[in-house]
Every structure is written in C-alpha cells, then in structure tokens.
Amino acid sequence: MSSFPDMRMRRLRATPGLRRAFAETTVAPADLVAPLFLKEGIADRTPISSMPGHFQHTLDSLVKEARELAERGAAGVLLFGIPAHKDPRGSGSYDSDGIVQQGLKALKDELGNEHVVIADLCLCEYTDHGHCGVLDGDDVLNDATLEIYARIAISQAEAGADMIAPSGMMDGQVAAIRAALDSHGYENLPILAYATKYASSFYGPFREAAEGAPRFGDRRAYQQDPANAYESLREVALDIEEGADAVMVKPALGYLDVLRRVKDTFGYPTVAYNVSGEYSMLMAAAANGWIDERAATLETLMSIKRAGADVVVTYHSKKAAEWLA
C-alpha cells in the first residue's frame, strides 16, 4: 500500500459518480420491512402520537398502507395485532378469526406472493398483564407458554403468513414452533427468530402503539441484558439448531457490534430491527429542525446494513423506499 503523497484517499471521493461506483454498501427498498399495527374494534385509524406517520390501523387502512409500501418496492410487512379483549392467557392470539389472523388474510389477498407478510408471534399484546407468556404469580412460565406459541403459529400459518417471527424470548420457542408447523403440514413455512432481543428502553413508543406494556415489573427475566454480546452468539446458535431460517438482532443502533458478530459468526440470513424508540428519537430531532430527516434516515439504514443486516425492519420504510426509488 502506498502512502501520501502517492496515495490520496480523496481521489475516489471526488465526484458523485466515483462515490456511487465504489460504495461498499447499498440500501434498496427491497431491504426494508415495515411494522404495522392492526387494532380490533376501531372505526378509523388512530395516529400513534410518539411515532409520527404511524397508526393503529383498521383492516381497510392496513391494506391501503400495505399497498402503498408495495408500490414503493418495500420487501414486506411485519404485522402486530391488538385485540379488543385481553385475558391472562392471551387467548385472542390463536383465535382462527382473531385480529391478526384477519389481518394476515387481508394482507395476503392484497399483496400476493410478490411481497412478504411476516407474523409477529408473541403474547404481550394479548395478555391482560402485558407479559410475553403465561404467569405463575409474578413468574413468566417458559414451557407452558411454548404450548400457546405453538397454537398461535398454526393459526398464523392457516391465515396465510409467509413467515412466523417469534419475539417472546422463551427458551425453546423456535423448536416448539417448528414442530407445531411441521406436524400440521407447514414444513415449508420459514421462521424468522428474534434470536437476540435485549431488554431495551427503546421499545417505549411501540408499547403505546401495541398496547403491550407489562402491568408490573419488566422483561429482564426473559429479554437479554444489554451488557452481553457473547450471550447473543449462544442465543443465535440455539435458534439455528432449533430450526430458525433467519435470525434477528434487536434493537439495531445500540447493538451494531452484535449484528456484525452474528453475521460474521453464522453467515445466516440476518435481520435487524430498527425499533420504535430509535425512530421516535430521529423524528423528534427532525421535527425540531435539529437534524435532517431524510439524510439521517438514510444514514441510519446504511449503517445497519453496513453492520451486516440483509433486511431491516424499520418504521422509516415507507418514506425511505420512496427516497431510494
């Protein structure tokens, strides 16, 4: 390698054409998946105050939003359901005519096979206590929760989901869901495992959107400690052994080191979730005129891809897809 003055790093930065030709990373609309919220029993879509541009959707507005995303070339959507009634076991989650099942059917009818419809699989939006599993006192029971996850997976598969994405962080959830799907004839339905999911303070706006905040305590007995990165490699290894087809790292921005390590260690299809708090912070700063929304959004998405993500789940999907078209 030659050095200055023979080598001048600025040469390849001199024009837009050179910069574009030598970019190591690209972001395209097809890399982006949009989380969407579908709420049961509302007449009109309701804005989510902490997430400008996002709504709790009705079935109609959900389908319309998905169509707009598809027209802009986004990869697909990740659907969350908010039921009208909650109970301790979250039984609305596996109702064959439940809110998420209705949404999945409507989205598949609209999008066909050109776009991906991913079903988030968790209980916190469906339980009256807001935890991601069933309780014994204040404990979230692992194995009893797996039985419910298996039922949810089958109902989501029957509703037409292209991919099942378990986010509850119960041990053995991927194996339980894989077995349930296989025994019901869905051996070709892929699982996107939320393999490494931290107990993060950046989920706050989502919990408003999905009405899934825990009524007591927190999720630190099942989600990961932000101090740990090797632990994430073990989480990913286990999920791959259990049958995960793609693995997710969540959140994204504070965990780009984890993302890079996961991609380098396993070489698996890797997804990063650019979570609600990350979106809200950027949007709040942009609304104040402190940063440029477009530039900051595209830089954020580029950073996540550069760190190793193949796909980014992000609330920026719609605008970013338009900017990137």
CB of 20 to ligand PBG, least distance (A): 31
Contact 89, 127 (CB under 8 A): yes
Q: In the complex with ligand PBG, which residue's Cβ is closer, 80 or 186?
A: 80
- Least distance in angstroms from the C-beta of 118 to ligand PBG: 12
Would you say 186 or 194 has its CB closer to ligand PBG?
A: 194
- The window from 56-64, 67-75, 101-109, 201-209 that contacts ligand PBG (CB under 6 A) reads 201-209
- Least spacing, CB of residue 73 vs ligand PBG, in Å: 22
Residue 203 in contact with ligand PBG, rule: CB under 6 A: yes
User: Strands 139-140, 135-136: parallel, antiparallel or unpaired by DSSP?
Assistant: antiparallel
Minimum distance of ligand PBG from residue 205's CB (angstroms): 7
Which residue is catalytic, options 39, 86, 197, 318?
197
Distance in angstroms (rounded) separating the CA atoms of residues 270 and 260 = 10
Residue 300 found at the interface with ligand PBG (CB under 6 A): no
**Closest CB 145 distance from ligand PBG, rounded Å:** 12
Are 38 and 81 contacting, i.e. CB atoms less than 8 angstroms apart?
yes
Binding pattern to ligand PBG, positions 269-288, x when CB under 6 A? ------xx------------
- Give yes or no: 319 in active site: no
In order, the DSSP letters of 13-63 are: GSSHHHHHHT-S----GGGEEEEEEEETT-SS-EE-TTSTT-EEEPHHHHH
The reply on whether position 206 binds ligand PBG by CB under 6 A is yes
Give the SS3 label for residue 264: helix
DSSP 225: P
Inter-CA distances, 264 with 149, 226, 233, 235, 281, Å: 30, 20, 10, 15, 29
Residue from 275, 188, 260 nearest 229 by CA:
260
Q: Rank residues 103 and 168 by Cβ distance to ligand PBG and give the closer one.
A: 168
- Total binding residues for ligand PBG by CB under 6 A? 13
The interface mask with ligand PBG, positions 212-241, x = CB under 6 A, is x------x----------------------
Extended beta strands in 122-177, E state: 135-136, 139-140, 163-166
Query: Cis omega before residue 214 (within 30°)?
Result: no
Query: Catalytic residue at 105?
Result: no
CB of 124 to ligand PBG, least distance (A): 5
| Ordered DSSP codes for 63-87 | HHHHHHHHHTT--EEEEEEE-S--B
CA distance 316 to 300: 10
Q: Which stretch binds ligand PBG (CB under 6 A): 156-164, 204-212, 231-239, 302-310?
A: 204-212
Neighbours of 288 (CB within 10 A): 8
> Which of the residues 250, 263, 305, 318 is marked catalytic?
250
Q: Which of 308, 81, 89, 75 is nearest to 196 (CA)?
A: 308
Binding mask 99-138 for ligand PBG (x = CB under 6 A): ---------------------x-x-x-------x------
- Catalytic positions, please? 197, 250
Residues that bind ligand PBG (CB under 6 A): 120, 122, 124, 132, 167-168, 203, 206-207, 212, 219, 275-276
